[in-house]
Structure 1
Amino acid sequence: MTFADAAGRLAGMAGAVLGWSPDAFWRATPAELGAVVRAMSGEAGAGGGEPPDAGLIARMREAFPDG
């Protein structure tokens, strides 16, 4: 498999699973992509565990509004 083939496959998976646009995928660093995948898999040390509570979600929405 060539780099282009592997990158295209990974970009497609990021779009399907993470909802990332191609632009978001290509702007992400390998470390960022890895962190998201680890967090989604619940891998140890990835910040997994309990889901965020309503207060944390509200603070995140305030800090990072859509639009």
Structure 2
Amino acid sequence: MAAAGGKAQTFEPFPWDAAMHAGLCLLRLSAPQFWAMTPRELFAATGGLIKRTTSIERAGLETLMLAFPDG
């Protein structure tokens, strides 16, 4: 099926190996608990909803520079 731009869309398959490892090994869910979860619930349980910062602010950088000086 082609998208509006004329190019066919490709989708990656769901990463079942990673999801099962996270749910069964890391979170230690029982099999019934794991299979009862939706992918969104598993995403949330593995920390996917936590906001992550991508950079450090100047004050934080200066604090680190004072704590760990070069040379």
TM bucket, shorter chain:
0.3 to 0.5
TM-score (norm 2): 0.41
Higher relative contact order (CA 8 A, sep 6+): 2
Would you tell me which structure has more helix in proportion to its own residues?
1
TM-score (norm 1): 0.43
